[in-house]
């Protein structure tokens, strides 16, 4: 547990957004977002490309402060001051689409990076933690390989091990399945589920891979047309009659979701 979680009230959700509006430049990307993510849950954030899923994540990490509304992580407002923000960020593990592995470092050195940057742990302890994290993603044997020697699925798992290095209580995944085949996708999804359960994490998965993600999710939200258009369980999502949500789930080009998000955003 981090300092950020220790001070939080017991009942606080892992993430809470209330009336949040997010702008990029002079465009409003998302408005009136209210959302509560319970501790220990897996929440799928779904929505068409360009709808603002990654933008939503960037406000949780403090990268994009909201123009209006409130964003809390473990009961505390996401700080704007850089030192406090840095402290809070240690409690959030982020897996980005591009993996972001450093090509001239080995797998083990990549996973060790957050420990070397943010802690003063000695070499022997760092090695043990790295070993443990690689074991957690099933890649202990790959410790001395370089990123170029890994398959896409292995590289994603190394990035996952690195995101877990500081034992963050909250994990956020931005499109964790991009570029992976169905088998590697299944491995990643079950790993996300298993880590959430065994390590007692809270996970937020941003994705347009609806059918791969819903089976492991406790909650689903759909964003489209600049706001939240659905909040509920995966079963409720599958049964929804909302034409906008149905259009997204079926991947239909025609319907209430504006196809050209940039046009829509420009007039927002
Ligand atoms: N750094 C930025 N500066 C300006 N506009 C941005 C920036 N990042 C995103 N946008 C705009 O915000 C809107 C939402 O983008 P975002 O990346 O959040 O969508 P997304 O739902 O994650 O899409 P995808 O599924 O394709 O990843 C888009 O219209 C995009 O052009
Ligand atoms: Mg995105």
Residue 22: name the closest of 53, 59, 49 by CA: 59
CA distance to 27, 60, 234, per residue, from 80 (Å): 21, 12, 34
Residue 39 · residue 56 · CB < 8 Å: no
Q: How far is the CA of 161 from the centre of ligand 2 (A)?
A: 21
Residue 135 domain-assigned?
A: no
pLDDT at res. 258: 66
Question: What is residue 190's three-state secondary structure?
Answer: helix
Each residue's pLDDT tens digit, 143-182: 999 999 999 999 999 999 999 999 999 999 999 999 899 9
Residue 22 domain-assigned?
A: no
pLDDT band at residue 267 using 50, 70 and 90 as cut-offs = very low
Judge if the beta carbon of residue 207 lies within 6 A of ligand 1.
no
Indicate the number of domains in the chain: 1
> What is the number of the ligand closest to the CA of 96?
2
Question: What is residue 57's three-state secondary structure?
Answer: helix
Q: How many CA atoms lie within 13 A of 140 on its CB side?
A: 8
| Containing structural domain, residue 245 | 39-57+79-91+168-267
Residue 244 domain-assigned?
A: yes
pLDDT at res. 264: 44
pLDDT at res. 80: 85
CA distance to 50, 86, 161, per residue, from 31 (Å): 15, 26, 34
Judge if the beta carbon of residue 24 lies within 6 A of ligand 1.
yes
Q: How far is the CA of 75 from the centre of ligand 1 (A)?
A: 27
Residue 149 domain-assigned?
A: no
Q: What is the pTM of this model?
A: 0.89
pLDDT at 125 over 70: yes
Task: Outline where DSSP puts E strands in 3-60.
Answer: 15-24, 27-37, 42-46
The atom number, within ligand 1, closest to the CA of 57 reads 18
pLDDT at res. 21: 98
Residue 268: name the closest of 63, 45, 52 by CA: 52
pLDDT at 104 over 60: yes
Going by alpha carbons, the residue nearest to atom 5 of ligand 1 is 24
Look up the CATH number of the domain holding residue 229: 3.40.50.300
Average pLDDT, the chain: 90
Judge if the beta carbon of residue 49 lies within 6 A of ligand 1.
yes
pLDDT at res. 265: 43
224: part of which helix (H) or strand (E)? strand 219-224
pLDDT at res. 244: 87
Each residue's pLDDT tens digit, 130-139: 999 999 999 9
Q: How far is the CA of 96 from the centre of ligand 2 (A)?
A: 9
pLDDT at 98 over 90: no
The pick from 54, 178, 179 for probing ligand 1's pocket by mutation, whose C-beta has the most ligand atoms within 8 angstroms, reads 54
**pLDDT above 70 coverage of the chain, percent:** 92
């Amino acid at each position: 547990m981090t300092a950020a979680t220790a001070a939080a009230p017991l009942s606080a959700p892992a993430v809470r957004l209330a009336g949040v509006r997010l702008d990029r430049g002079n465009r409003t990307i998302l408005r009136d977002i209210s959302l509560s993510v319970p501790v220990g849950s897996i929440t799928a954030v779904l929505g068409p490309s360009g709808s603002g899923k990654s933008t939503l994540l960037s406000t949780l990490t403090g990268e994009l402060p909201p123009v209006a509304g409130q964003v809390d992580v473990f009961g505390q407002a996401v700080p704007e001051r850089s030192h406090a923000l840095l402290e809070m960020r240690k409690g959030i593990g982020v897996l980005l689409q591009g993996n972001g592995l450093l090509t001239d470092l080995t797998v083990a050195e990549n996973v060790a990076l957050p420990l070397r940057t943010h802690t003063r742990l000695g070499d022997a302890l760092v090695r043990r933690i790295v070993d443990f994290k690689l074991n957690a993603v099933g890649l202990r044997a790959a410790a001395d390989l370089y990123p170029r020697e890994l398959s896409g699925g292995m590289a994603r798992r190394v990035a996952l091990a690195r995101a877990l290095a500081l034992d963050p209580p909250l994990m956020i995944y931005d499109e964790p399945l991009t570029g992976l085949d169905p088998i590697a996708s299944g491995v990643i999804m079950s790993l996300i589920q298993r880590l959430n359960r065994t390590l007692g994490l809270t996970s937020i998965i941003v994705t347009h891979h609806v059918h791969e993600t819903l089976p492991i999710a406790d909650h689903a939200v759909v964003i489209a047309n600049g706001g939240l258009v659905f909040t509920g369980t995966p079963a409720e999502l599958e049964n929804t009659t909302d034409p906008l949500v149905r259009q997204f789930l079926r991947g239909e080009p025609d319907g209430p979701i504006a196809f050209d998000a940039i046009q829509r955003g420009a007039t927002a």
